[in-house]
């Protein structure tokens, strides 16, 4: 399956009020492995960024002055995304801007050009209800290195999103096995070892270890005010 992790930077927060895309970053993954076939485009929006947006991405009007307009890069972008499974963090935001840009040049909405759109923010909220689920928060929670993210950048954020997605979707399914074989990291079938005849040795605790264990139990029982369950079970047995 071909997946594209996509992020945009914009002049502001509202596509409906005339804000425009200024940067698009796309990272390609095939069969859960990065291919390096990425797409990174700066776009001249024909307007200035809002001050608050500029603080987020740091991309100035002067820098974008000689960059292509969206209509000049649209064909390349559509060809790259067509038929892929798209993954976006907070998808309605990016889709709103992309669909507005596509509508300006007479193109259909992005969802009609691709196989699917997955929103990792929705996924994260289901996995971590009530917690912060921004991209930075997920990087911290899932131990994805985002130390290079001093400002938002579409390509960097798409790369981080790919790492976050891999961690979000790395579940117990990778440990599932049948009665006769499992798979290695390359997906090759590997016979399982028959451990039915193997017997683990039982090592009895010596007197010193048993005494130390009993001391720990007594301390726990004392801290609980004599309410530990093993004391109740011992008393009931007597």
CA-based radius of gyration for the chain:
27
Strands 2-10 and 85-88: parallel
Cα dihedral 60, 63, 65, 69 sign: negative
Token readout for 235 is 């008393």
Look at residues 97, 88, 119 and name the one whose alpha carbon lies nearest to residue 11: 97
Please report, to the nearest 10 degrees, the dihedral formed by the alpha carbons of residues 32, 125, 161, 60 taken in order: 160
At 24 the three-state DSSP class reads strand
Determine which one of 40, 50, 152, 213 is catalytic.
Answer: 152
Burial of residue 130, with CB atoms counted within 10 A of its CB: 0-12 exposed, 13-18 middle, 19 or more buried: exposed
Task: Please provide residue 102's backbone torsions phi and psi, each rounded to the nearest 5 degrees.
Answer: -65, -40
- State yes or no: is 89 an active-site residue: no
Q: Catalytic residue positions?
A: 152
């Amino acid at each position: 399956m071909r997946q594209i992790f996509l992020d945009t930077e914009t002049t502001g927060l509202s596509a409906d009020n005339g804000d425009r895309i200024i940067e698009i970053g796309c990272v390609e993954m095939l069969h859960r492995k990065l291919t390096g076939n990425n797409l990174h485009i700066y776009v001249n929006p024909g307007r200035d960024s809002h001050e608050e947006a500029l603080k987020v991405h740091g991309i100035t009007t002067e820098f974008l002055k000689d960059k292509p307009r969206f209509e000049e890069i649209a064909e390349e972008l559509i060809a790259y995304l067509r038929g892929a499974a798209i993954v976006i963090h907070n998808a309605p935001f990016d889709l709103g801007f992309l669909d507005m840009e596509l509508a300006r040049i007479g193109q259909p909405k992005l969802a009609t050009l691709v196989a699917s759109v997955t929103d990792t923010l929705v996924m994260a909220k289901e996995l971590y209800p009530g917690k912060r689920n921004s991209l930075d928060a997920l990087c911290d929670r899932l131990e994805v290195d985002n130390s290079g993210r001093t400002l938002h950048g579409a390509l960097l954020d798409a790369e981080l999103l790919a790492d976050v997605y891999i961690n979000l979707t790395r579940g117990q399914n990778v440990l599932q096995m049948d009665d006769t074989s499992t798979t290695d990291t390359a997906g090759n079938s590997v016979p399982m070892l028959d451990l039915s005849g193997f017997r683990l040795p039982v090592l009895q605790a010596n007197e010193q270890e048993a005494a130390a264990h009993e001391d720990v139990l007594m301390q726990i029982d004392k801290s609980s005010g004599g309410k530990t369950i093993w004391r109740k079970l011992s008393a009931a047995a007597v």
